[in-house]
Each structure stands twice: as structure tokens, then as C-alpha cells.
Amino acid sequence: MVKDKKPAKLSVGAMAPDFSLRDESGKTVDLSGFRGKKNVVLVFYPGDMTPGCTVQLCAVRDDWSKFEAADAVVFGINHGDTDSHQRFKRAYDFPFPLLIDTGKKTSEKFGALKTLFGRPVIKRTVIVIDKEGKIVFLKSGMPKHSDILKAIK
């Protein structure tokens, strides 16, 4: 990550940048593949098996039927490796894939990075992308699922 070069600030109404990442099973997920088909919810989280991240992703799991009813797919994203993601998903029975953002490049594209003790770390961020590829919700922290789902038309 180059300090001088900041990615363009994303905002609600902007087109989401494309990405291609592998999930915990090795399957490649391309954001562009959902255009015209599904709403996409990206949950950027700092670490597998950590207390806050476990609470956040278990809440998505517990509200899974609401996300399905909103015609949305959900992806958890961080820099954890395949083994870490598999253990996390298996331990908590997540019905959605966990994507591996090696090098944190996708997190950087989506503004989900911050600097902590001089190192880039993933900032807890939720982004909703509509079927046309436009960002309709963008919030740091752990937003209410009712607010996330309201953003999906």
C-alpha cells in the first residue's frame, strides 16, 4: 500500500469497483457476475474467530432468511487464509462464503482499510451493491440489519 496514493473515495450512488477473489473452498467469486442478477452485501471484517467479528457474522447468519428474501448474496471479506476461513465458517455454520483478500487490495478499493500502529488493517465496513452495480449502502462498524436491508430495493 502506497501512502501517497489514496483510492478514490467511494460513496453511496457510485459504481462499485469490480473484484475477483477466492472463497474458503477455492471457488473464484467475481463481483461482475452478480450484475443484473443479485444484490450484493460485502461485510469487511478484521479477523476470523475474533469476538466482534464472530458476533457480526453470526448476526448475518441468524438473519439469513431476510437477506435471501431481499434477493441478496452476502460475502464476508478479510485477509485470512483458506484454513482460517474454513475453520471459522465450519465453527459457526455460516451460509455465505468468506472471501480471501490477500494483500488487502479489495479492502483498499472499497475504503475498508485503516492504519493501526503504522500498518494497514481491515476496518469493519458493510457495503451493499444493487443489481445494477451501484453502491446503495456504505457504513463502517456494525450497522443494524434493518438499515442494511432497507437500502436494498
What DSSP element (H or E) covers 126?
strand 125-129
Residue 6, pLDDT > 50, answer: no
Residue 115, pLDDT > 80, answer: yes
- C-alpha distances (whole Å) from 15 to each of 73, 105, 118, 122, 127 are 18, 17, 30, 21, 12
> For residue 116, which amino acid is it?
L
Residue 123, pLDDT score? 92
Could you tell me what percent of the chain has a pLDDT over 70? 95
Residue 80, pLDDT > 60, answer: yes
CATH placement of domain 47-151: 3.40.30.10
Residue 18, pLDDT score? 96
Residue 1, pLDDT score? 43
Give the residue among 14, 134, 51, 114 at the shortest CA–CA distance from 152. Answer: 134
Could you tell me what percent of the chain has a pLDDT over 90? 84
Tell me the pLDDT band of 114, cut-offs 50, 70 and 90: confident
Supply the angle between the helices 82-92 and 51-62 in degrees, to the nearest 10: 60
* pLDDT, tens digit (0-9, with 9 covering 90-100), for 56-77: 999 999 999 999 999 999 999 9
Greatest CA span in the chain, whole angstroms? 43
Alpha carbon distance 79, 84 (integer Å):
10
Average model confidence (pLDDT) for the chain?
A: 92
Phi first, then psi: give them for residue 62, nearest 5 degrees: -70, -25
Q: E strands along 45-108, which residues?
A: 72-78, 98-100
Look up the pTM and report it. Answer: 0.92
* pLDDT, tens digit (0-9, with 9 covering 90-100), for 90-110: 999 999 999 999 999 999 999
* Residue labelled with grid coordinates 494483500: 103
Active site residue 53: yes
Which residues have CB under 8 Å from 83's CB, separation 6+? none
End-to-end CA distance of the chain: 35
| pLDDT, mean of residues 84-92 | 96
Which residues have CB under 8 Å from 69's CB, separation 6+? none
Residue 2, pLDDT score? 40
What DSSP element (H or E) covers 43?
strand 39-44
> Domains of the chain: which residue ranges?
47-151
The one catalytic residue among 10, 42, 43, 53: 53
